[in-house]
Structure 1
């Protein structure tokens, strides 16, 4: 079944790309709940109606993609009579544990959590489930083992992924392999903080780009310690020195890191293909100026609408797919004219032009 968003007064088509991310974050020997093999369901509660509160555990509130998701979730929920309360963990696992406990204390109806870790979050998420709170993972599934039952996903009721580990990584790898003509050295830039989904994304990029051609070699993955442009520029500059400037491409975990890499390359007088991830305004501007060559656009405002629909259905006791994989897009200079700015997407969410889907599928596309 194709998943479509309801639109009014617009016929703009967006690119279609569905990611397959089928595996659980390693959550150890936590207590498990039972459900069907293809969907997650919770018993209908007497309070399953509009007027409740959703807590969003944001792992890093300064990241554009997460900020946009948060804004869209808040605006879309408001139109449904639902309140969203968000807390910023600032890349701290201990902060995230405290944030989730605060949501439990506030007796929210549901928690959307982008996990900074696996096992360390199990006790507090288990406590949330025992308190009758719906727990929706946002990028909780990071490996490739198939999810066939709710027990494998516990303590999450279900999970919405960003479409990066398979579809996004594949699109970026194909672009780089073609740009290099199947031959060259690639440097990766990952985040230093413990963000399982981003580490999995970078591993997927390495696997996909090296599998594309025997002539492509992954030199190493350096780490952005501060999750920003400057944090990437230094390690990339060091790597250029280490490899005597013999770097033909850089693949980064987010657009800011890609911009930092581009700055280091320019300073060293090295021309290389640079690919980022997110599709935020700065990344798009860098593609337009030629600083970057491509990015993976996550469409976070649409992900927020899917997440809201999943929460509403779970709170109402309805079945939802265990893992939902929203679409992502490869954005290059060649297709910039069809790129929809996130600010436009947020406006459409706020004014009701773009609304939550009426049905859910495991591999949604939008039209």
Structure 2
């Protein structure tokens, strides 16, 4: 067991019988955080109580001094790099980082090499995942090679164990073909994950369209590149009746579209990547390529709308973990690869948002535990 204190320092504990005193328990089922004592017997939580319990000599006692205790986290969409891109991070390395950051389950996007579009590729990943410390739930590719031309073996992928399908960030541009694909997928009962962007509107942009991009001389991506695509996809969702999840939304307009869809009764959920809660377009002022992300960091107002949506339960949080090799992130900003490694820092970033009053503690916990678990039909522990 690893315990983090309030300074984000970690202590390894090997005892199987533990009494953890004075923990601040953030239970997503409760109205407020609660100071409590936790009895762990034979490595399993036996009781959480508000009155200090008495235990026998076999128990090691640790005073947590208000350190937070939460259920295990669930990540809705991480880009694991194996097979094909092991030089950016192996399956074992990245899942170990997730485990050390408090995750028990991660949903894996299909952007591997080869693309996760057949049961054979899924079987390869499942075999390699046997030694990984977290549960990996695969999201299959909707079309062969994510090329948007021919449907993958959808029923076979479902039988092999995928929890959903997606085009990731390679949307089907032909509206008629997109409709036919979703009509077919509706017969399988699989959920579809959308990462919506209008490529014509986005063009070769690498920053949020606005004064900061203009000042830096960077080509901009307007917010409507996202909202236009989400609006289209929501119409297709309504037409076909599928269950849909919209990942990594980045602007206020997208939040409003999701709210409207939910109010209409559509089976729609959505998440925001952690970086878009913690940072905004001002981070680009130093041309720091670590902040080259897809979608780009948006405006202050967009960031506030995203935080409000998490606090109200409209959005879940995904970490948006997308490791890159050093060379890919040290290139000039407009040439750098999109992505950021965030497992190691996600708790520190969240605590900073909570300390600033931007993020409510229990909303944060729900957005990383019960809400994403329900989206991929899993239980949190």
Compute the TM-score of the two structures, normalised by the length of structure 1.
0.29
Higher gyration radius (CA): 2
Taking structure 2 as the reference length, what is the TM-score of the superposition?
A: 0.29
Q: Which has the higher contact order (CA 8 A, sep 6+)?
A: 1
